[in-house]
Chains A and B, each alone.
Chain A
Amino acid sequence: MPPCFTCCRCPILSFDCHCQLPNQLVFPYSLNYGLSRASRKIKVSHLRANFWESIRSGFVKNNTTQIIDPPSTPEEEEEPLPQEFVLIEKTQPDGAIEQIIFSSGGDVDIYDLQTLCDKVGWPRRPLSKLAAALKNSYMVATLHSVRKSPGAGENDQKKLIGMARATSDHAFNATIWDVLVDPSYQGQGLGKALVEKLIRALLQRDIGNITLFADSQVVEFYRNLGFEPDPEGIKGMFWYPR
C-alpha cells in the first residue's frame, strides 16, 4: 500500500503556490550542465540517470519501460548528482515516450505547483507566500513528466508531478518539508526517488544533519529511506500546534 506522500511534517500548513521566482533561487553549489533554469522547457542533458534499487519494484516489467542506466553504487562513491536527469523513460502504446525527469534546480512554475497541491488535497495558501517559501528554501527538487508525442513536430507536454524541498543553514542542518507526488503517479517509487535524490544532493553539499517531521502514517516510508525517529530519544516538538 503506497504511503501518502502528501506530507512529511507538521499537519498545520499546506501550500499555495505561485509566483515567478526561478531566477532568484540561489544555490551555493551549482553544477552547470548548460541547463537554463529560466526556461520552462526542459533541456535534458544526458547524464546518468541512475537506477535506484529502491524504485526497481515500482517498474513495470515489460519492454516498454526503459531504465536509463546501470545499477546504483553506494551513494558516497557516486559522482556528483546532475542537476537534472531522466529518472524513468517509458514508451507508451501509442508510441509516445514519457520521461520522468528529476531536477534540483528549483525551477518550479508556481501555477503548476498550485495545481499539484490541489491534486493532493492541500488547502490553498497565498501564492506569494508559497513563492517566498520556495525562494527561501535551500533546495527545491521536482519531478516532471515530459511526454514526447510520436508525431513529428509536435510539442512536448510537460507536467509537474512531484516536489520536495529542504530548508537549511547551508552548513550543518537541513530539514525536508512538503514531499508531494501527483496521486496518479503514486505507487511507482517516485516519492522515494525524490527524497533519495534530495538527500544525496544535500549530502554532497556536506550538510551532515538531515531532518524532517513525519506524520505517523509515513514514518515507515521515511524509515525505509534511512531516517530514524527519535534518535537517542530526541523528540520533535512544536510550539502550540493546532
Chain B
Amino acid sequence: MHYSSMYNVYLSNHRKTSSFSHFSSSPTTTMLLRGIISTPPLPPRLKASHNPQNATVSAQLPTTKFSISDQSLQSRGFNLRRSISDLNLDHLNSVFVAVGFPRRDTEKIRVALENTDTLLWVEYEKTKRPVAFARATGDGVFNAIIWDVVVDPSFQGIGLGKAVMERLVEELLRKGISNIALYSEPRVLGFYRPLGFVADPDGIRGMVYSRKQKKRK
C-alpha cells in the first residue's frame, strides 16, 4: 500500500456546462489494477490452525484490491462515503468550482445526485468537508457513465482521485454493470488509462450535442 504517483496539479477553466473530469496527472507509477479490480472483492481471510493444541487464529492480510486501502486512507484522516446524506452540497460545489467547473445551482446538483445510482466521496475528517468525489449514472443494468470526478486542489497528488475511481468501478462491477464509460479531457487521459480505461475502443467516438452545431440538410 502506497500512495501512487505525483500528479501535476493544475486548474483548468471549463467553459461548458458539462463537467468532465478535471484535473491532470502524469503518474510515474502505474499500478496494475486490471487483475485486481476485475475480480469480486474478497473479504479478509482468517486462517485457523488445524493443530488442536495450537489453536491460534492468524489473520491474513486482506487481499489488496485497491491502490490505497480504506484503512490507509482513514489513518490519514480521509473517510470514504457512499451516500449523499452527510454531504454538504455547497462544499461540494466549491470543490467543483475550485477545479474549474462553472458554478451550478446547488438544488440542481441535489436533483442530479438524487438521480445518481452510484457515488463516492472522500470526507476530510478534520474539516468534515468533501475533498474528492465521483459519481456514475446509467440504467443500472447494462451501462454506466462516470461524471464529476474531482479532487480538491489542496488534496491532489496523494491518490484520492485514484482511490475514488477504483472504488466506483468496483461498485459498478459488483452491481453487474460492466459497460463503464466516461468522458475525459485530453490532459487527464493518463489518469484514466492506468485505471483500465481505453479511449475510442474499436473506433467508437464520444459525441456531444451542440445546438450551434446542427446542420440542416
Enumerate chain B residues within 8 angstroms of A226, measured Cβ to Cβ: 209-211, 213-215
Which residues A138-181 have CB closer than 8 A to chain B? 165, 167-173, 175, 177
Q: Mark B204-217, 1 if CB is under 8 A from A, else 0.
A: 11111111011111
A11 & B189 in contact (Cβ 8 Å cutoff): no
Cβ-defined partner of A234 (8 Å) among B34, B184, B214, B215: B184
Whether A169 pairs with B115 at a CB distance below 8 angstroms is yes
Q: Any chain A CB within 8 A of the CB of B116?
A: yes
Q: How far is the CA of A223 from the CA of B192 in the complex (A)?
A: 26
Q: Return the CB mask of A213-242 against B: 1 if under 8 Å, else 0.
A: 111100100111111111111111111110
A238 engages B143 (CB within 8 Å): no
Given A226-B211, A226-B215, A237-B189, are A132 and B141 neighbors across the interface (CB < 8 Å)?
A: yes
Minimal Cβ-Cβ distance residue in A for B202: A11
Query: A165 to B185, alpha carbons, bound, how many Å?
Result: 26
From residue 168 to 217 of chain B, which have CB atoms closer than 8 A to chain A? Answer: 169, 178-186, 189, 192, 195-211, 213-217
Q: Are A236's CB and B200's CB within 8 A?
A: yes
- A136 in the interface (beta carbon within 8 A): yes
Q: Judging by beta carbons under 8 Å apart, are A239 and B108 in contact? A: no
Interface size class of B (residues with CB under 8 A): 35 or more
Q: Which of B16-53 contact A (CB under 8 A)?
A: 16-20, 34, 38
Tell me if A199 is interfacial: C-beta within 8 Å of chain B: yes
List 9 A–B pairs whose Cβ atoms lie within 8 Å, in order of A's numbering: A12-B178, A169-B112, A171-B115, A209-B18, A214-B207, A216-B204, A230-B205, A236-B183, A238-B197
Interface residues of B in 103-126 (CB under 8 A from A): 104, 108-109, 111-116
Question: What residues of A have a CB within 8 angstroms of the CB of B217 in the complex?
Answer: 53-54, 56-57, 224
Chain A nearest Cβ from B150, distance in angstroms: 14
Report the Cα distance A12→B143, complex, angstroms: 10
